Amino acid sequence: MLAPQVSGSSQGGRWPSYRCRVRHTVGTCSAPANINRAKLDNYVEAAWREHMAGEGVVSAADSAALQLASTALRRTVLGATRTPILRS
């Protein structure tokens, strides 16, 4: 499992990366991986864009359930404390 990290060098440089956690709940990784975060993010975005190029997009008004889920996610990820007003 790759997790966001900040890697560094012996010369003091630091950069965002994804790194395999060597110790997991199921055991120890025998070949931990490390990759520059920008390179992997760019690769994944390009692959996603290529895949989605032929897909149609449908838009619809947010449902109350979607608004509640969005609020819960925002509170979890961002620590937001305000609850948006739901509109029907």
The yes-or-no verdict on residue 83 having pLDDT over 60 is no
Q: Could you give the angle at the alpha carbon of 52 between the alpha carbons of 37 and 3, nearest 5°?
A: 25
Rounded to an integer, what distance in angstroms lies between the CA atom of residue 26 and that of residue 71?
Answer: 33
The yes-or-no verdict on residue 82 having pLDDT over 90 is no
Rounded to an integer, what distance in angstroms lies between the CA atom of residue 37 and that of residue 41?
Answer: 6
List, in order, residues 6 or more apart from 81 with CB less than 8 Å away.
75
Q: Which tens digits make up the pLDDT trace of 19-62? A: 888 888 888 888 888 888 889 999 999 999 999 888 887 778 88
Contact by Cβ (8 Å): 1, 21: yes
